[in-house]
Structure 1
């Protein structure tokens, strides 16, 4: 990832009213629009459409909050997406997850996680590596989840891989001091070989 932003966030004063309305729930504790959304505001129409889907994945997803956040943190760690990692460490902590649990999910040390989380993290890795799951993993997903929830697994991985790609390519920087350092993982493709 670039050490500085390749694309600077758009100044709020330069945004259309309908974009500002869409971004109303996406502000930090000081009232500033989160950097990721202010950066994507260079393409306001696409941003507003993306927020609708993102709102489903983050706010109306049928997966347990704990599991969803562990999946997102695994994606962020594997992608080296520091901004995504930092934002979701904060969300996961507010949901009651410990740093030890977050780091276990991120680093692949899942033995102490419950069965559902291990299945979902395995599916996350499979989707990142192969854009699919094999029959054995599909059966494990079906044993724990409804079809609606499995679709939300796919949407969650797709959405947050997209966000990680955007963050890393545009150089979206962490806002302030990182809540928890992003773990450095070996290149997953090399490790799997």
Structure 2
């Protein structure tokens, strides 16, 4: 993450009406456009197109909500993307996940998680590391998920790796204090399978 933001969020008054309409559901409790979207508004046409895909991954995804959030939190922790981490800690809590479960997914302490979540987090790590999964892991995923759900695994990881890349490269800052501290991961520890 750069020391200071490389791009500041675009002021709402400078956005096109069609961009404002696209961003209507992407506002905080005070009515402000979330910083990630206001930052990506430097390229309004691309932002509007990206929101269509993002809406599928976040709002119409076929994966269980809590499982999806654990995957996103794992990506955010691995990428050390504080903005992504903070937003999805809040979403995960609203979905009923306890902080202990959130931190377990993020740090790789998966022993207490159910089999589906362990498989999904293993797939997340494999996709982050090699942009692929091997046949054994494919079989494990397929034993738990429909074809549509497996594709949504790929879309979820791809989407949130993209978001983490944007956050870290552009220097998108959190909108206040972190809801839960972002764990620093020890890269020397092997991740469970």
Is the structural similarity TM-score above 0.5?
yes
Stretches of structure 1 that go unaligned for 5 or more consecutive residues are none
Aligned to 2:64: 64
CA RMSD of aligned residues (A): 1.1
Aligned to 2:161: 161
Aligned to 1:126: 126
Aligned to 1:151: 151
Distance 1:36 1:125 in 2: 24
Stretches of structure 2 that go unaligned for 5 or more consecutive residues are none
- Please list, as runs of the form range in 1=range in 2, the aligned pairs for 1:2-151 lying within 5 A after superposition: 2-151=2-151
Distance 2:118 2:176 in 1: 32
Distance 2:47 2:3 in 1: 24
Partner of 2:21, secondary structure, is helix
Residue 5 of structure 1, CA deviation: 1.1
Residue 2 of structure 1, CA deviation: 1.7
Distance 1:160 1:36 in 2: 12
Aligned to 2:181: 181
Residue 191 of structure 1, CA deviation: 4.4
Per-residue CA shift, 1:82-124, capped at 9, x if unaligned? 0000000000000000000000000000000000000000000
Distance 1:66 1:174 in 2: 22
Instruction: Identify the range of structure 1 (22-31 vs 1-10) with the bigger mean alpha-carbon deviation.
Output: 1-10
Q: TM-score, normalised by structure 1?
A: 0.97
Per-residue CA shift, 1:132-167, capped at 9, x if unaligned? 111110010000000000000000000000000000
Distance 1:47 1:78 in 2: 25
Distance 2:185 2:3 in 1: 19
Q: TM-score, normalised by structure 2?
A: 0.97
Partner of 1:181, secondary structure, is coil
